[in-house]
Chain A
Amino acid sequence: MSGMSRIVKTMASITFPLTMIYGLYIIAHGHLTSGGGFQGGAVVASSCALILVAYGSVWTMGKIKEKSLSVFESLGAIGFIGLAFFGLIFGANYFFNNFLLKQDIIPFFNAVGTGASNINTAGIIPLMNFAVGLKVIVGLFTIVLVMAYATTKLKGEK
């Protein structure tokens, strides 16, 4: 896939940070409002896909290596499962413990906040959202990128 016109590229560059910030907001507020890791991740991934469509898959493939993407994806998954294991080790001795007993391990996130909409609440659920978000962003973007790249190669073959 080759790039599109200058107008599209400019507009995509302007829209990209806005969409990305909105997606990150959805991930960060996943434990308070509707949404969470997957939804926010999908929004961010779609903003990345916007860049991909505007600038073309060959240009994007030159900027990002597929291997580093798969490392990030693994890190997201390991983060999620690792947090689940945290409950076994630091929590009340069961798997997927949302509220760790030893809060000092991860200082910022409390079990209960001062108000209903306090952001540093809900134990390790926000951290799990971040892990899922990372995995979804990288995973969806990799799928779109690789598929777009595969179609270009096919045209080159013929």
Chain B
Amino acid sequence: MLFNLPYIAVVALILIGLAAVIFKRNLIKIVIGITLIESGVNLFLITLAYRGGSTAPIYTATTTEETIMSLPVPHALTLTSIVIGVAVLALMLTLVVHIYRHYGTLDARKIGREEE
């Protein structure tokens, strides 16, 4: 049961994020929701890498032959995903700043409604 706890957290994070994106009307909260989904997915990848009682995958840190290392590949994937997440987050916030300048509001129901 305890071993599955991270997976439950993953699903919970993704659902909370989706709920925030779907039910919140404030653009900043939508951005927060996407960040939550991203954290959930990253946590999922990190959990995949973990083996019981393992150390960080550094060559010099392995003291004996029997030391188990956690999988390094998902760590690399998570890192890449985080980097992409930073770029996406920065871009989204920039656009939110622009939207606020144009409409003076962050309510998703009120932006982009003007006639041309």
Given the interface contacts A33-B58, A116-B59, does A150 sit within 8 Å of B97 by beta carbon? yes
A31-65 interface code vs B (CB 8 A; 1 in, 0 out): 01110001100000000000000000000000000
Q: Is the CB of A116 within 8 A of B60?
A: yes
Residue-wise interface mask of A (8-26) relative to B, using a CB-CB cutoff of 8 A (1 in contact, 0 not): 0000000000000000000
In the complex, the answer to whether A34 meets B58 with C-beta atoms within 8 Å is yes
Does A117 lie at the interface of the complex (its beta carbon under 8 Å from any beta carbon of B)? yes
Residues of the A chain whose Cβ atoms lie less than 8 Å from the Cβ of B59: 116
Q: Which of B57-116 contact A (CB under 8 A)?
A: 58-60, 79, 83, 86, 90, 93-94, 97, 100-101
Given contacts A140-B86, A154-B101, is CB(A147)–CB(B56) below 8 Å?
A: no
Q: How large is the interface on B (under 10, 10 to 19, 20 to 34, 35 or more residues)?
A: 10 to 19
Q: A143 at the A/B interface (Cβ < 8 Å)?
A: yes
Contacts of B100 in A (CB 8 A): 154
Contacts of B97 in A (CB 8 A): 147, 150-151
Q: Smallest distance from the beta carbon of A68 to chain B beta carbons, Å?
A: 20
Instruction: List, in ascending order, chain A residues with CB within 8 A of B101's CB.
Output: 154
**A151 to chain B: which residues have CB within 8 Å?**
97
Chain B nearest CB from A151 CB (Å) reads 8
A117 with B60, Cβ < 8 A, contacts A38-B79, A38-B83 known: yes
* Closest beta carbon of chain B to A147's beta carbon, Å: 7
Residue of A whose beta carbon sits closest to that of B82? A38
Which positions in A face B, CB cutoff 8 Å? Answer: 32-34, 38-39, 116-117, 140, 143, 146-147, 150-151, 154
16 contacts between A and B (CB under 8 A): A32-B60, A34-B56, A38-B79, A38-B83, A39-B79, A116-B59, A116-B60, A117-B60, A140-B86, A143-B94, A146-B94, A147-B94, A147-B97, A151-B97, A154-B100, A154-B101
Beyond the given A147-B93, A147-B94, A147-B97, please list 9 additional residue pairs across the A-B interface where CB-CB is below 8 A.
Answer: A32-B60, A33-B58, A34-B58, A38-B83, A39-B79, A143-B90, A146-B94, A147-B90, A154-B101
Shortest Cβ-Cβ A-B pairs, 5 listed: A143-B90, A116-B60, A150-B97, A38-B83, A117-B60
